[in-house]
A and B are shown apart, each in its own frame.
Chain A
Amino acid sequence: MSTVVTQQIVGPGALKRLSPRFWLARQTQLAIFWGPLFIASIVLALIVNVSAGYLLPVVIVLLAAVAWLVERGRYRSWGYAEREDDLIVTRGLMFRHVSVVPYGRMQFIDVTAGPIDRAFGLATVQLHTAAAATDARIPGLVRPDADALRDRLALVGEAKATGL
């Protein structure tokens, strides 16, 4: 629904997606978490000589597959659109959010990058308004894109700024 809904607001094709590198970064994260768990479960199944021991790695693999599917859904749900007066951010697989943040309301913009993000040359752009509830965050942008977006937002934000 999320994509369809957002396209009804922004018009088809206007919604920008995250970089495929972000999906790579997420998969790396998944591998870092589930890989050792999988190896440990095999070792455990070999040490503990129970007849149903082989089930443990299978369960781990199934769980990892579910996590992979959820992450993929999440990755696909992200999207953003820069309109004339506001920014639209959509996210969420189970709980879907579509946020509309007017440029004039921006207080400041954050660009952050964690270790994995940095390894993949990615960054997160976050908009802050005076409302604590505003959650306009765009992760997984390629670093130059993130900086360009930040500069564009800062520019229009300044031009359209309104007080509290």
Chain B
Amino acid sequence: MSVMPPPVAAGVPMEVGENWRRLHPLSPVVRFGRVLIGVIVVAVPSIAEQPGFHREGSLPISVIIYIGLLVLGGIGGVISWLVTRWRIADGNLQIETGFIRRQSLRIPLARIQAVDVISPLLGRFLGLAEVRVVSAGRGAEHGRLAYLTAAQAPVVRARLLALAHGLEVGTPEPVALPLLHVQNGLLLPALLMRSQVLGPILIAVAAVAAIAAAPVVGAGALGSAVTVLVISGLGVARAFNEDFDFTISEAGDGVRLDRGLLQRRHETIPYGRIQAVRVVEPFFWRAFGWARLEVDVARQSVSREADRDAQQVARTLIPVASRDQALWLLARVMPDAHPNPPPDAGPPSRARLKAPLSFHFLAAWFGQRYVYARTGRLQKSTIIVPLVKVQSVRLKSGPLQRSFHVATVDVDTAGRRWQASARCRDQDEALEMVRHISERARLSRRVPPPLPASPAPVPAAG
């Protein structure tokens, strides 16, 4: 990358350029806000329980300690803001931070995978947003500009993307064409219909019915079902909060995801970076013909603390849609992918003994451009890996598998979440698969993948 930005006219308010600049002055407030809420949640109940709290005139020691912590935290936040500065120059996004231990971070623009804009709740009140750079080499934690003004963030993002693609600096962001929008009225029932929620509900109902017949057993089952229900209820609330008002749109460089109730996220998944797509049809969804699409993007050497956050980035392509819509969307991100197995894609019938619970869904096949592997016991999930993205192919067979003359073929990608695993194939067939998949992957690496075709009309829901 040798794109040198032209000199920026001084005093242009929206311009983000090669001069060092600070983050927004209110950044410590937003960052500190979370800590404050955390401390209050921990501190208030413990202080209120103390006997000496209501005595007039003097503060108990614990309150002083908590206030001291908050003040220290606040000062730390302000100092961290004071010493942090960033700029885009020399083909890098450069961030310098750290008071005692100076840290100078350079992210080569050419290695940028995606640029996300995230607005947490408090940030939305204050009109601030975070720009998060996802690059191939490191986790999402490092390339963070938290926070910029909500107006500035898209400009920074457009600029980073333009430079990452080797375009002119002033190139505006490509226009995003909306593809699908998930109705919140559909999202909630769909989340509730996932088996980890509906399962406990059914058990609870059965337990209530059983109380009449066998009170002790029924009550015990009810108790444990309610516990599970509370946990999964929290999971539903979180997923609903994350995928609220979900819109997927398509721009020239990839798909855009806009989602979130309290915290809005605007994410980009570049087409070329998708390592694998998974079509998931949970057990109870199949009656309604719903499906979910998930993606896996390349993200290596993610440090432990960044791991949780990295997993949250762009994992869902569409949280719920009709099967037709999901397949249509799949065709948008992976042209010519057909997740319906050909008739001979199943494992040999003797594998039924080896994998009795998942035999009915096991299937694996490959075409000119993709490898498909379907697995699942109750939930049907099909992983689709482009042959261009195949990193290595592996044949595995354990002693039990050998006694059935079957073997597993694993297709590895640079994604972190799944590998396409063709389980319980006939031994000779597995061998052929290894040979053909590695051969086709080799050939497909020589031909650049075609760009997605012009959009076809969205199929109606239902």
Contact = CB atoms under 8 A, between A and B. Distances in A.
- A, B from the same assembly: yes
Interface of A: 1, 5, 8-9, 85-86, 94-102, 104-105, 129-136, 162, 164
Given A102-B390, A162-B445, A164-B298, 19 more contacts: A94-B399, A95-B398, A95-B399, A96-B396, A96-B398, A97-B394, A100-B393, A102-B391, A105-B391, A129-B391, A130-B413, A130-B414, A131-B392, A131-B414, A131-B415, A133-B410, A134-B412, A136-B392, A164-B414
A8 B431 contact: yes
Contact of A100 (B392, B396, B445): B392
A102 B395 contact: no
Interface residues of B, number: 32
Contacts of B196: none
B113 to A, nearest CB: 9
Interface in B282-308: 298, 300
Interface in B408-449: 410, 412-416, 419, 427, 431, 434-435, 438, 441-442, 445
A134 B434 contact: no
A interface: dominant SS: mixed
Given A104-B445, A130-B298, A99 B435 contact: no
Interface in B358-379: none
Contacts of B442: 85-86, 102
B397 interface: yes
Contacts of A98: 394-396, 434
Given A8-B431, A102-B442, A95 B397 contact: yes
A120 to B, nearest CB: 29
A131 B413 contact: yes
B392 A99 contact: yes
Nearest to B399: A94
A134 B392 contact: yes
Contact of B391 (A1, A5, A131): A131
Contacts, number: 88
Contacts of B396: 95-98
B365 to A, nearest CB: 19
Contact of B394 (A102, A104, A135): A135
B273 interface: yes
Nearest to A87: B392
B264 to A, nearest CB: 28
A134 B273 CA distance: 19
A63 B416 CA distance: 40
B273 A99 contact: no
B136 interface: yes
Those 7 A-B pairs whose CB atoms lie nearest each other, nearest first:
A130-B414, A131-B412, A131-B391, A98-B395, A129-B391, A134-B392, A101-B392
B interface: dominant SS: mixed
A5 B390 CA distance: 21
B418 to A, nearest CB: 10
Contacts of A100: 392-394, 434, 438
B407 to A, nearest CB: 8
Nearest to A160: B445
B350 interface: no
Contacts of A134: 391-392, 394, 412
A86 B440 CA distance: 12
A99 B394 contact: yes
Nearest to A107: B300
Contact of A164 (B273, B395, B427): B273
Interface in B124-182: 136
B199 to A, nearest CB: 31
27 contacts: A1-B397, A1-B427, A5-B427, A5-B431, A9-B431, A9-B434, A86-B442, A94-B399, A95-B398, A96-B398, A97-B396, A98-B396, A98-B434, A99-B395, A102-B390, A102-B438, A102-B442, A105-B391, A129-B392, A131-B391, A131-B414, A131-B415, A132-B300, A133-B410, A164-B273, A164-B275, A164-B414
Contact of B397 (A85, A86, A96): A96
B102 to A, nearest CB: 29
B21 interface: no
Contacts of A129: 391-392, 412, 414
Contacts of B414: 129-131, 164
A96 B427 CA distance: 12
Nearest to B275: A164
A162 B272 CA distance: 13
A94 B402 CA distance: 9
Contacts of B402: 1, 96
Contacts of B438: 86, 100, 102
A129 B390 CA distance: 10
Contacts of B392: 99-102, 105, 129, 131, 133-134, 136
Nearest to B416: A132
Contacts of A96: 395-398, 402
Interface string B377-391: 000000000000111
Contacts of B431: 5, 8-9
B434 A94 contact: no
A135 B391 CA distance: 11
Given A1-B427, A102-B442, A133 B300 contact: no
B410 to A, nearest CB: 7
Q: Which of B390, B392, B395: most chain A CB closer than 10 A? A: B392
A102 B416 contact: no
B441 to A, nearest CB: 7
Nearest to B298: A164
